[in-house]
């Protein structure tokens, strides 16, 4: 039940943020699927393999980025249309709230540790998307080279 609820809610979050960010109506379902896939990879690494949230966020955003490029190629749309709504479930908003709350309550040691974790998770998400983008560029340049040789 845990996995099914995570799939449903991550799909819904990505889909509705696609609506907010003005994704074309015909791409709502695809944006939801891409976001849910990235979140499920995150949950698999976090809960299934019991990796830290930072590493899980990296692998989730890497999968999200690669799937965004694949869908962009299939749907003939920019990859950013799928990346932005897909990132939303991965963003550590709850942790950032906790860090801010601890800062306001003058619990500086908790606030600093939580803010560091938020920063590292956000960096892992950015790094995963960057790696996915560079990996996709390598794939595309490799296919262009093989086509020229034929």
Q: What are the tens digits of pLDDT across the range 83-141?
A: 998 898 889 888 999 999 999 998 888 899 999 999 999 999 999 999 999 998 888 77
Q: What are the tens digits of pLDDT across the range 14-28?
A: 999 989 988 889 989
Q: Indicate if the pLDDT at residue 56 is higher than 90.
A: yes
Phi and psi at residue 41, to the nearest 5°: -65, -40
Distance CA 64, CA 10 (A): 12
Structural domain for 85, as ranges: 1-147
- Given a contact cutoff of 8 angstroms between Cβ atoms, the answer to whether 64 and 125 are in contact is no
Question: Domain total for the chain?
Answer: 1
């Amino acid at each position: 039940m845990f996995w099914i609820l995570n799939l449903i809610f991550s799909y819904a979050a990505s889909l509705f943020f696609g609506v907010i960010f003005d994704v074309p109506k015909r791409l709502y379902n695809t944006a939801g699927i891409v976001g849910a896939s990235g979140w499920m990879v995150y949950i698999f690494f976090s809960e299934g393999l019991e990796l830290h949230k930072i590493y899980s966020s990296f692998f989730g955003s890497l999968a999200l980025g690669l799937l965004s490029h694949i869908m962009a190629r299939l749907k003939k749309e920019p990859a950013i249309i799928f990346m932005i709504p897909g990132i939303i479930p991965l963003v550590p908003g709850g942790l950032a709230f906790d860090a801010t709350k601890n800062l306001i309550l003058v619990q500086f040691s908790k606030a600093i540790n939580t803010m560091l974790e938020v920063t590292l998770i956000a960096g892992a998400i950015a790094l995963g998307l960057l790696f996915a983008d560079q990996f996709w560029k390598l794939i595309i340049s490799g296919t262009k080279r093989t086509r020229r040789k034929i």
